[in-house]
Amino acid sequence: MSNKFRLSTGGQISRTERISFKFNGKTFFGFKGDTLASALLANGVHLVGRSFKYHRPRGIFSSGAEETNALVQVIKDKGKTDPNLRATQIEIFEGFNAESQNCWPTVNFDVGAINNLFSPIIPAGFYYKTFMWPANLWEKYEHFIRKAAGLGKSPTENDPDIYDHKYYHCDVLIVGTGPAGLSAATVAVKAGKKVLLVDERSHSGGNLSFADEELTKINELKPLEWIKKTCSELQNNKNIKILNRTSVAAYHNYNYLIMMQNLSDHLSEKEKKGKIRQRLWKVRAKKVILATGSIERPMVFDCNDRPGIMLSSAVRQYINYYGVKCGNNVVIFTNNDDAYETAISLHNKGVKIEAIVDIRSRSDGDLPKKCNELGIKILWKNTIVYTEGYKKINKVHVMELSNDNSSTIRNKLKINCDLLCVSGGYTPAIHLFTQSGGRLIFNEEKYYFHPKSASLSQISVGSCNGTFSLKKIIEETQTKTNEFLNLTHNNQYNITESKSGNFENIWLLPSDKISGKTKPFVDYQNDTTANDIKLALREGYKSIEHVKRYTTTGMATDQGKIGNMHALGIVSEITNTKMSELGTTTFRPPYTPLTFGAIVGRNVKQFFDIVRKTPIHTWHEKHGAKFEDVGQWKRAWYYPNKNESMYEAVQRESKAARNDAGILDASTLGKIDIQGSDTSEFLNRVYTNAWSKLAIGKCRYGLMLNDDGMVYDDGVTTRLGDNHYIMTTTTGGAASVMNKLEDFLQTEWPELNVYLTSVTDHFATVSVCGPHSKKILEKVVKNVDFSDQNFSHMSFKEGVIDNIKCRVMRISFTGELSYEINIQSNYGQATWEKCMEAGKEFGITPYGTEAMHLLRAEKGFIIAGQETDGTITPVDLQMDWIISKKKYDFIGKRSLYRSDTMRENRKQLVGLLTSDPKEILEEGAQIVEEVKSKPPMDMLGHVTSSYYSPNLNKSIALAVVKNGKKLKGKKLFVPMPNKIIEVTVSDTVFLDKEGVRLNA
Amino acid sequence: MFIIKCPYCGNRDHSEFSYGGEAHIVRPKQPTELTDDQWAEYLFMRKNIKGLQYERWNHAHGCRRWFNMARDTSNDKIHSVYKMGEKPAK
């Protein structure tokens, strides 16, 4: 079986480049230029897969993107694999390897075929009706459904390939290189426009590339000669870029299109090494010309899905373009003249046409006449009612149609064959057109939808616009393109083509059997038959959207390219609704599936997201710090000594900070420089407390609310000068606070003279705390009198470190005596090192965010985002002291008097002490008053922060609990999966309630 | 994917901007005089129009200025953009 079905000459494959490839473990050979489908057909292989639900044998059906059956699993080296690729679009190369899907153990002998026996009880809609009861067995059902679902297998290795993105702007984008696309491009480039011309195939020419050479001529040239000439003329023009193997996936608003270019999938493993695999083009075009062609439809009759049943245009492409005859004894079944061209191409290349079965009574076109002359038998007014041949078609049953086409009459004729070509007419490919918001209109005579009005700067030309005669295509394209681009550039074209006859259509062909005993397939990929559609209608689903989803017609990877029109037609006939009233379901991107790799592009691994590091990062790294992510920042989390666990390190750091000295990198906190004559008024409006009387050189803690009264952010703001402040925010809130403040200034208070500048990255912040912190600062910072009389808590001084200016704020988040040095970022690390050196004699210890959280919790200080979650007011936090009574208004004030924020039973901040001081609560754990044997229990609140305090030698926690203010001393419970923890409600301040440590 | 004309920077890609909800809502000058219902109206109630809608946009990855836009939500056609404080063109 070695290329038995390849013609000895002809075709566009490269006969000097033999390729050996594997399919289902067997080795075959083909030629460079073959697709997997053409190469398999050349070797006589039709059976390539099993259908999704019934596991029926399926063969190659088409020759393009519309392929429904020949989905294969491509095996690449080192255990990598691609599922669900269409054999009709894969270009083979030396060493290519693929397998059938959805069958076991082999495609020839598939155990899953037993489903076919169950077909009466697994029609469409069974997904919704089965596996409902008993509900508690759902996890068992899921196991089986997962095994049965899907087609191919996912890869288990990381994707090693390189994918790219590219942005492109052009004057004109032309989609499709058929005669319409090429003639449009010819007009556009002559006018000096910047043109991008794309086609999903590896070669240009569209369906013209496999037209019969004798029947079609353009300017005396054969089709392929004209295509080659036109393409090479276009290539010579510097204004045009032509991309093959590039499929337009999506057409978005404002002429923004996304297309995927295959760069190396068609190359051998050796050739593709180091090359980019796929490139996603993001194109913005001033004008778009859609020349996307049309897709042939099948015929719907009993058992119309066997291997060896193929679209007539596909068979024509295989023989004229690939030099492959798909059979030796062919029957053609049609309702139009186009299939006769296939008959002529096959006949002239030595294939026997057993018969052409035509549902029409006659045709006045040129092609049937020609077939008559060639002696090909035509059976007018006949239909196929059945096919035989489980794994490969071997016979068709033909019967005459009644006058009104509603039934079959007289005797059955059985014809032996090894190939059946079907042709039900052509559907304009309007997918991109509708994605772009275009409106369709239904052509009653030709039974298809085509463009009526576009909503963007775009035209449709050629068969995607419902124009099928080559002469008309070229005329229409020239006229429309010239008009669209404001040009008057017309070329002369001399076309030879056959005159086409009439067209007749029957959506569901009549049968001599009752319909329940037939299987006329409409959607091959999801195994939906005409009977399923009838079932949906009987069960009351009228809208085409419901019929689609109930039957899953058009929901497979082909999105109904082959079957949607028939589904629509059958619904229309049965419900007696006009096609134009039914409408179509929505076509969604991508036109053909995209890889995740193409979508993600280069944004993988270290390029997935930005990483922000402080100026002191390398010091932390060198000293063994473990980092945690705070937004995009890497913050030092803890600094374990050799063999220390996280718990041990944090305990040590927290103890040292209170006993000796601790040093923390606080550079990530947001810093906003605020200047202008109205700044104190501005601060009054955005914070809850009063700011007008803050003296120059003083710092104040501020709380920020949203206008709904909920705590949003907090931080210390320092007055540097008359009209100059520097505000700090939380690390995570920096950007959103900045944006919110700007929003108010620009849109609500434009009369305020206030200017904001983000300076988070401009200054490093080194925080030193503990009993020895003052002595350490004295050694490091000059020109500052650190005595308490001069430099009190919550104030600021300017100093120098080695001639570099710095700001020192005496503020504390740990409750210890504490100073923060703000210095220009480039000096951050040096400042840290100086402090470390100066602090060595005092036992200075670097501490990270975990210890920082623990220390502030000992003092009952909140962290915005930990104790608060957008539903907590300052009153809930027992921070009434920070709400100004005097200010007329500030953001959030009015909401503090809403009935809901004044409600009695609100969750309020409390401390929790566990009865067993060694027991540490889990953050997020729920708190109850009454423990029951099993859920549900009344939840009063949850634990927001929890630590073991080395300074108090017991576990401490903060929590929000309903009515917490009134519960001091009460015993509550925290139910965990394997135990109940008893707690007592306490004050939120656990250590140094008087605050004397601040003035150590 | 719109092309938005920032009143300050000119035509830019949609991805440079961030959306800011309904336009022309003025924060009440005397919140304490409002009932809970009236205050809730300002805080929470927003229109959701199929058709011409007036919205706020911010040129987040550009000049960072806020401006207004009149956009038809049924087909995403942008009718006009105008600066903060201005009235929509009619």
Binary contact (B31, A894; C-beta < 8 A): yes
- Low-confidence stretches of chain A (pLDDT beneath 50): 1
CA separation for the pair A822, A809 (Å, rounded): 8
Q: Nearest residue on chain A to B23, judged by CA atoms?
A: A747
For residue A12, count CB atoms less than 10 angstroms from its CB and return exposed for 0-12, middle for 13-18, buried for 19 or more: middle
What are the C-alpha distances in Å from A129 to residues A118, A121, A125, A924, B7? 15, 11, 7, 39, 56
Cβ-defined contacts of A640-645 (< 8 Å, 24+): none
Distance from CA of B60 to the nearest CA of A (A): 9
Helix, strand, or coil here: A828? helix
- What pLDDT sits at residue B21? 95
- What pLDDT sits at residue A148? 66
CA separation for the pair A261, A281 (Å, rounded): 7
Binary contact (B34, A894; C-beta < 8 A): yes
Are A771 and A660 contacting, i.e. CB atoms less than 8 angstroms apart? yes
User: Does residue A120 have a cis bond before it (omega within 30 degrees)?
Assistant: no
Q: Nearest residue on chain A to B67, judged by CA atoms?
A: A747
CA separation for the pair A914, A947 (Å, rounded): 11
For residue A351, the cross-strand partners are none
Give the mutation candidate from B30, B39, B78 for the A interface (greatest A CB count, under 10 A). Answer: B39
- What pLDDT sits at residue A587? 87
Q: Render pLDDT for B45-84 as a digit per residue (tens, 0 to 9).
A: 999 999 999 999 999 999 999 999 999 999 899 999 999 9
CA separation for the pair A304, A522 (Å, rounded): 9
- Can you say whether residue B20 is alpha, beta or left, with left for phi > 0 and alpha for psi between -120 and 50 degrees? alpha
- Does A453 contact chain B (CB < 8 Å)? no
Residues of chain A contacting residue B40, judged by C-beta atoms under 8 Å apart: 898
- What pLDDT sits at residue A1? 47
- Using the Cα atoms of residue B44, residue B45, residue B46 and residue B50 in order, give the sign of their dihedral: positive
* b/e burial code for range A372-407 (CB count within 10 A of at least 16 → b): eeeebebbebbbbbbbebebbbeebbbbbbeeebee
- What pLDDT sits at residue A82? 92
- Does A751 contact chain B (CB < 8 Å)? no
- What pLDDT sits at residue A102? 78
Q: Which residues of B touch A (CB under 8 A)?
A: 1-3, 13, 20, 26-27, 31-32, 34, 36, 39-40, 43, 56, 58, 60, 64-66, 75-76, 84-85
- Does A805 contact chain B (CB < 8 Å)? no
What are the C-alpha distances in Å from A960 to residues A584, A907, A922, A944, A963? 54, 5, 14, 7, 9
Which of A252, A746, A894 shows the shortest C-beta gap to B1?
A252
Binary contact (B66, A747; C-beta < 8 A): yes
Binary contact (B84, A893; C-beta < 8 A): no
Q: Nearest residue on chain A to B30, judged by CA atoms?
A: A889
Residues of chain B contacting residue A748, judged by C-beta atoms under 8 Å apart: 26-27
CA separation for the pair A86, A820 (Å, rounded): 64
The DSSP-derived string for A748-791 is I-TTS--EEEE-TTTEEEEEEESTTHHHHHHHH-BS---STTTS
- Can you say whether residue A350 is alpha, beta or left, with left for phi > 0 and alpha for psi between -120 and 50 degrees? left
Binary contact (A888, B32; C-beta < 8 A): yes
- Does A603 contact chain B (CB < 8 Å)? no
What are the C-alpha distances in Å from A124 to residues A53, A128, A129, A551, A875? 10, 9, 10, 5, 58
Residues of chain B contacting residue A437, judged by C-beta atoms under 8 Å apart: 75
Q: Nearest residue on chain B to A743, judged by CA atoms?
A: B66
Q: How many CB atoms lie within 10 A of CB A545?
A: 13
Residues of chain A contacting residue B31, judged by C-beta atoms under 8 Å apart: 889, 893-894
Binary contact (B36, A898; C-beta < 8 A): yes
Spell out the residues 6+ positions from residue A837 whose beta carbon is closer than 8 angstroms to its own.
Answer: none
End-to-end Cα distance, chain B:
25
As given in the structure block, the two tokens for residue A827 are: 């000096």
CA separation for the pair A439, A885 (Å, rounded): 61
CA separation for the pair A276, A273 (Å, rounded): 9
Beta strand extents in A854-929 (DSSP E only): 907-914, 926-928
Give, to the nearest 10 degrees, the angle between helix A530-538 and helix A544-551: 120
- Does A284 contact chain B (CB < 8 Å)? yes
- Does A899 contact chain B (CB < 8 Å)? yes
Measured in whole angstroms, the distance separating CA A14 from the mean position of its chain's CA atoms is: 38
Binary contact (B75, A888; C-beta < 8 A): no
> Is this prediction's pTM over 0.80?
yes
CA separation for the pair A367, A312 (Å, rounded): 14
User: What stretches of A789-938 show up as alpha helix (H) in DSSP?
Assistant: 828-839, 849-858
- Does A889 contact chain B (CB < 8 Å)? yes
Distance from CA of A55 to the nearest CA of B (A): 42
Write down the ipTM of this complex.
Answer: 0.98
Are B3 and A253 contacting, i.e. CB atoms less than 8 angstroms apart? no
Binary contact (B1, A742; C-beta < 8 A): no
Rounded to 5 degrees, φ, ψ at B19 are: -85, 145
CA separation for the pair A218, A179 (Å, rounded): 10
Distance from CA of B57 to the nearest CA of A (A): 10
Percentage with pLDDT > 90 across chain B: 92
Residues of chain A contacting residue B26, judged by C-beta atoms under 8 Å apart: 748
Binary contact (A743, B58; C-beta < 8 A): yes
Binary contact (B32, A253; C-beta < 8 A): no
Residues of chain B contacting residue A253, judged by C-beta atoms under 8 Å apart: 1-2, 76
For chain A, the helix, strand and coil percentages under 3-state DSSP, each to the nearest 5: 25, 30, 45
What are the C-alpha distances in Å from A425 to residues A295, A402, A443, A507, A698? 9, 21, 13, 11, 83
- Does A708 contact chain B (CB < 8 Å)? yes
Spell out the residues 6+ positions from residue B39 whose beta carbon is closer than 8 angstroms to its own.
Answer: A894, A895, A898, B28, B31
CA separation for the pair A536, A523 (Å, rounded): 15
What are the C-alpha distances in Å from A77 to residues A74, A97, A99? 10, 9, 14
Q: Nearest residue on chain A to B75, judged by CA atoms?
A: A437
Which of B3, B84, B85 shows the shortest C-beta gap to A254?
B3
Residues of chain A contacting residue B27, judged by C-beta atoms under 8 Å apart: 707, 748
Distance from CA of B38 to the nearest CA of A (A): 11
CA separation for the pair A279, A263 (Å, rounded): 7
- What pLDDT sits at residue A251? 97
Distance from CA of A764 to the nearest CA of B (A): 25
CA separation for the pair A756, A738 (Å, rounded): 8
Spell out the residues 6+ positions from residue A973 whose beta carbon is closer than 8 angstroms to its own.
Answer: A927, A928, A929, A930, A931, A980, A981, A982, A983
Distance from CA of B66 to the nearest CA of A (A): 7
